[in-house]
Amino acid sequence: MMGRIDARLVELGIELPAPPPPRAARILMAKAAGGFLFVSGQLPSLNGELRYVGKAGREFNLHDAQAAARLSALNVLSHARAALDGDLDRIAEVVLLRGYVNVAPDFFEISQSVNGASDLMAEIFGAVGAHTRTAIGVAMMPYNALIEVEAQFLLT
């Protein structure tokens, strides 16, 4: 039987990508501890290919940055699903998102960029998708990726 969140994904026409492996770091991509699930920062990659390489305000505009944040958040959810043995219904609340945006010096729409990830959580989880958040503009990212998103979830 399909879970509530999987049914919502189907209703929205959203297919989660396969969870991308770590590129270089020797880390866990997700870890459950103390009733929470922590998912490591995810880049905007699909099928092993980094889709957004460069800076917001130079190679990419706000719309692109939001799309990259959304893709990164989809990767977060794919790792959450894997860590929860396929059961996203175990997520009781989206607690925290952190978004890091690779920005040119004159790009100031950092918070709006990370909205791509925040809006996705609200679409999928509804009221329990409301979360706290940090959005930071940075001078450099691993692999020159446009964005990285990490998350913390409260589990049932």
User: pLDDT tens digits, residue range 45-93?
Assistant: 999 899 999 999 999 999 999 999 999 999 999 999 999 999 999 999 9
pTM, entire model: 0.97
Q: pLDDT tens digit string along 61-74?
A: 999 999 999 999 99
- CATH number, domain 42-155: 3.30.1330.40
The CA–CA distances, whole Å, from 156 to 31, 57, 113 equal 15, 40, 30
Instruction: Write phi, then psi, for 87 (nearest 5 degrees).
Output: -110, 85
